[in-house]
Amino acid sequence: MKASQQYLLVVAGMLGAIAMAPGCSDDDGTGGNGGGEGGGGGGSSFQVVPAPGGVRRITGSQMRYSLEYLLGAQAASDFEVWGDPQLHGFESIAAAELAIGANDVSTLETEVTAAVTTSLQDVSTLATFAPCVQNAPSAACYEEVATQFGRVAWRRPVEADEKERLVNIANMGQTWGAGDFDVGLKYELMAIFQSPNFVYVSEIGEGEGSDRPLTAYELASRMSFFLVHRTPDVELLDAVEAGKLATDDGIREEARRMLLMPEARRSLDRFFSELYLIRDITTISKDQTIYPQWNEALARTMQEEMLRFLQDVVWTRDADAREIFTSESTFVNATLAAFYGVTAPSSGWTKVEIPADQGRFGLLGKAGFLARFADVKRTSPTRRGRFYREKILCREIPPPPPGVDTSLPEPQENQTMRQRLTAHREDPNCAGCHSLIDPIGLAYEHFDTLGQYRDTEDGLEIITADKSGDLEFAGPADLATIASDGAAGCLVKNFWRQSTGHLETEGEEDALGRLESSFADNGYSLQEMMVELTVSQAFKRVGDPK
């Protein structure tokens, strides 16, 4: 890191000079994991009070990926069951809190019927769980399906009464279908996939009380939905039954096995896409009179670039995750090569270094981020700054006070965005928060509404040096360093939220602190962090059902 890229920490006393509106402070907002060192060493004070248990609804995408594993890609390809809303930035949290509506139950039936019907055209995937559907398709096979296939779909052994009901439905179906085995199978599968035992992931735990272990099956499900975004595979269930999840090393071994699967990459893509809002770049409008080149293909290219960049850090090189914020390399195809002014690959994608004078560091220098956090017609330092504080540093920013005119003065000739935004910093209603947000976003003013580099803002000089609360920086390079130094805890926290389906609680602070420490000890390997997350006390245990 160059000397010029170092940032200065302004001592807290200097903050007094900044007019803070009520409700806006530069609290580092860590709450959950503090600095990490607190519980890090696993000292005697280490204590975990697990979050409440209960059930989480399987998300629509988890359902689709589970069907893909259970019935084959063809059957799952058009499966679309519910819209997967997010709470606190994650679908998994919404799935833990929200109920489904009456119409969703009908949609589930419709979609399951379609997927099951398709799957019967090629039962080879199904036969890997219940071979009899190919070898011995007779009435006796219905019980094998309930036992073997049901175990994987429901993530636990199917109990006798449940099995009996499934077989009855299959028999009824076969009779109705004039003896056709497949007809009985179809209705048996429909029953399996509409059951709450498929739709709701149990995290109730064993025994009673406010601190109880998840059952080994529940732990396997929690791991599997986190690491590969679908139902546990047969190997994992076998590991459960062999008692392998009883020890941390056994859990680690299974977690590492799962991380080798292609599904783990897809799962992590989804995580980043959700966390950094990469997935909605394709829904952003730009003024077509100013940016005629903005179209869906370009937006998708930007998404792919960001994901390829992240995959390179995590999977290809298993590198220090802080490179996500500091690396000056990226991936381009011909379109993006022109965008960044680098040599285009002869075909496909290639890894390149972006010219240093553009000041593009990590994710925050990527076109996709810069375009996503801009307005329809112009840049939005407020949005970029808010993203940086909230998504990278986990420092929450309160909303504007009510009744405040949030519009900016109309742009005047010879006025930079920085000058326009001075209104935010002069109005005492706005200054408290905007003095924390806008300066960060203004450091990215060399990137226009689409994320293209510009030397000047319509001929006017762009000033990037500024400060935001306790952060002082000359420009994007310093902000990259600040992110690198401060983002690890936030990243851990977001993995926690996504994997457990809840915001971190006070009782989980020590566990998160320990996880952050081990993240550092392991050279900020995200792969290792994910493994260690699965052995965390707070991951393996729950409180009373909510």
Partner 1 sequence: MSRSRFSLSRRAVLRGSVGTGVACVGLPLLEAMLNTNGDALAGGTPLPRQLVVYFIGNGFRLDQLEPATTGASFDLTPELNPLMGVEAYTKVVTGLQNWCAYQVTHHEGMTAFNGYTMAELSGLYSKAGGPTIDQLVADHIEASSDPSPLIRSVQIGISRRTSIMDSGTTMFAVSHRSTNEPLFPKFNPQEIFQLLFGEFEDKPDDGELRLAIIDSVREDANKLRARLGSVDRERLDAHLDGLAQLEEKIKTLPPVCQPPEMPSQTNPEGVQNEPLTDVNEVMAELLVQALKCDVTRVASVQFIGGAAETVYTEIGQNNAHHNNTHNGGAQAEVHEGVVYAMGQVATLANKMRETIDPTGKNLLESGLIMVGSDCSEGLTHSVSRQPYILIGNLRDSLVGKYHYQSVPKSGNDGSLTASGNTSDVLMTVLKAFNPEATSVGDMTARNLQGGWYGTGNPPNQAATGSNKVIDELLGPAFGG
Closest approach of Cβ 130 to partner 1, in Å? Answer: 19
Question: How far, in Å, CA of 410 to CA of 402, rounded?
Answer: 21
Structure tokens at 312: 């390179």
Q: Provide the 3-class DSSP secondary structure of residue 205.
A: coil
Residues 75 to 94 in contact with partner 1, rule: CB under 8 A: 83, 85-89
Residue 45 vs 407, nearer CB to partner 1:
407
- Judged by CB under 8 A, the stretch of 189-197, 307-315, 333-341, 435-443 that binds partner 1 is 189-197
**In this chain, which of 6, 47, 77, 110 binds partner 1, going by CB under 8 A?**
110
Q: Based on CB atoms, which residue is closest to partner 1, 165 or 256?
A: 165
Distance CA 230, CA 544 (A): 25
Which of 165/257 has CB closer to partner 1? 165
Helix H or strand E segment including 203: strand 200-203
- Exposed/middle/buried for residue 257 (C-beta within 10 Å: 0-12, 13-18, 19+): middle
The reply to whether 166 sits near partner 1 by the rule CB under 8 A is yes
- The CA-based angle 523-527-528, given to 5 degrees, is 55
Contact string 143-162 vs partner 1 (x = CB under 8 A):
-------------------x
Interaction residues for partner 1, span 215-254 (CB under 8 A): none
Give min distance, CB of 367 to partner 1, in A: 14
Query: Which H or E run contains 486?
Result: helix 476-500
Closest CA to 284 of 406, 369, 407, 387: 369
> Does 294 help bind partner 1 (rule: CB under 8 A)?
yes
Q: Which is nearer to partner 1, 107 or 311 (CB)?
A: 107
**Which 435-494 positions form the footprint of partner 1 (CB under 8 A)?**
none
| Nearest residue to 458 via CA among 416, 411, 422 | 416
The one among 42, 131, 243, 545 contacting partner 1 by CB under 8 A: 545
Residue 42: count other Cβ atoms within 10 Å of its Cβ: 12
- Which of residues 47 and 285 has its CB atom nearest to partner 1 in the complex? 285
**Residue 106 vs 316, nearer CB to partner 1:** 106
Q: How far is the CB of 280 from partner 1 (least distance, A)?
A: 7
Q: Which of 43, 101, 179, 243 binds partner 1 (CB under 8 A)?
A: 101
List the one residue out of 497, 498, 496, 486 whose CA is nearest residue 524.
486
Which of 97, 312 has the CB closer to partner 1? 97
- Output the smallest distance, CB 384 to partner 1, in A: 12
Binding to partner 1, residues 361-380 (CB under 8 A): 375-377
Question: Which residues between 405 and 424 bind partner 1 (CB under 8 A)?
Answer: 405-407, 410
Helix (H, G, I), strand (E, B) or coil at 106: helix
- Contact string (CB under 8 A) for partner 1, positions 12-51, x = contact: ----------------------------------------
Judged by beta carbon, residue 111 or residue 532, the one nearer partner 1 is 111
Q: Shortest gap between Cβ of 360 and partner 1 (angstroms)? A: 22
Instruction: Indicate the residue among 289 and 343 with the shorter CB distance to partner 1.
Output: 289
User: Residue ranges of the alpha helices (H) in 130-261?
Assistant: 132-135, 141-144, 150-154, 160-176, 181-194, 196-199, 216-227, 234-241, 248-259
Please name the residues in contact with 453: beta carbons below 8 A apart, sequence gap of 6 or more: 340, 341, 358, 360, 446, 447
Interface region with partner 1, contact rule CB under 8 A, candidates 102-110, 214-222, 476-484, 505-513: 102-110
Asked if residue 429 binds partner 1 (CB under 8 A), the reply is no
Question: DSSP string spanning 251-283?
Answer: HHHHHHHHHTSHHHHHHHHHHHHHHTTGGGGGG
- Per-residue interface string for the shown chain with partner 1, residues 253-292, x marking contact by CB under 8 A: ------------------------x--x-xxxxxxxxx--
For partner 1, the binding residues in 378-397 under the rule CB under 8 A are: 383, 396-397
Q: Which is nearer to partner 1, 128 or 171 (CB)?
A: 171
Q: How far is the CB of 182 from partner 1 (least distance, A)?
A: 13
CA distance 474 to 444: 11
List the interface residues with partner 1, window 53-72 (CB under 8 A).
Answer: 54-55, 57
Residue 148 near residue 134 (C-beta atoms within 8 A): no
- Distance of alpha carbon 30 from alpha carbon 33, whole angstroms: 6
3-state helix vs strand vs coil in the chain, percent to 5? 55, 10, 35
CB of 240 to partner 1, least distance (A): 19
What residues contact 142, with CB distance under 8 A and at least 6 apart?
Answer: 166, 167, 170, 171, 174, 184, 185, 188
Q: Which of residues 191, 219, 332, 421 is near partner 1 by CB under 8 A?
A: 191
